[in-house]
Every structure is written in C-alpha cells, then in structure tokens.
Amino acid sequence: MSDDVKVSAMKKKILFVCHGNICRSPMAEFVFRHLLEQRGITDFSVSSCAVSTEEIGNDVHPGTRRKLAQVGIKCERRQARQITLSDYADSELIIAMDYENLYHLNRILGGDEEHKIHLLLEFAPADYSGGVSSRCGKIKEIADPWYTGNFDETFDDILAGCMGLADFCAERQTSASLAGGKL
C-alpha cells in the first residue's frame, strides 16, 4: 500500500470507481459496506460511480447482483452515475479498479493534488496473488467482468482489496480514538 494514503479528521467518504458503475465499483461498494458493518465501523459514507457516461441511469449488472446474493451481501437498487469535481472535494479516498480508470479520473478531475486516488489492490495483502498484471504499473488491476464474464474472480479480487482497505480504516480509526481525535 502506498505511504501517501491519507485520511483526514473531517471527511470520511470513500468512493469506488470503475468504467461504467454497474459491475466492479458497485460490487466494491456493497462488499466494503458489508465489511464495515461486520466490524462495527459506522462513520464512513461509501458509494460508487463511473468514469464514463455509457451506463448512466442503469442499475447494477445482473452478474454482480447474483454474485453478491450468492455470498450473502445485500445489493440495493441504484443508478449508475459519473464522477464529478464535487465528488473529489467531498471524498477522503477514491478507489479505482484499473489503470484506465486512473487515467480517466485524472483527466476528468484535472489531477490528484491531494493524493486521494488509489487502486483497490494497493490495499490487498502483499502476498495476494490475484488480480491482472498490467503493463501500466506494478500494482495489479481488477478485471472487468463485463468483458471477462468472470464475476467470481472479480469478487475475489474486490474482497481482497476491500478487506485490506477495511483494515486500513479500522487502524486509522483506532489510532485516532487513542489520540483523542477523529479519523
């Protein structure tokens, strides 16, 4: 995980981002909410969005919905939406699924001066062997099941990243409460 990941005292919104906001980012949103609920961490707002406009208004992909139901994670109806500049201002962390998402996030947002944008698998355990290798960087990506059809593999990668992210948030929450402050 990158050393420049920051969590401030005021903002606690985590935003997951993928291409269309119907497969990977909503899967990550609902998995992460489930993990936070299991850990009793209640002071985070979790949502998701897209970098493209292709799926705006559409609900979660049926494959994502089926996979989440299979593992007992609730998946609410929602509408895909595209990221906005206010999302950047309001979010503590913006978590992308692949390097193409990073490229488009930086193009849409005009950069990442506050170092809020990260790949989800940055948070996976160092020995995690899943994910897809990329020519773009050393951190692996999460494959898009829209193209692969493999929602099981995507779920495994998202779960690994979200578990690490939940650990990161729990550690920061504990450190902040021991110091007498907020996250």
* Active-site residue identified among 23, 24, 49, 169: 24
Distance CA 169, CA 12 (A): 10
* Active-site residue identified among 23, 144, 162, 169: 144
Distance CA 180, CA 63 (A): 44
- Residue 80 is given by DSSP the state -
* Active-site residue identified among 18, 23, 49, 75: 18
- Any long-range contacts for 104-111 (C-beta under 8 Å, 24+ apart)? 104/51, 104/52, 105/17, 105/51, 108/51, 108/82, 108/83, 109/83, 109/85, 110/85
Q: Decide if 18 is catalytic.
A: yes
Distance CA 70, CA 23 (A): 15
Give catalytic residues, as residue numbers.
18, 24, 144
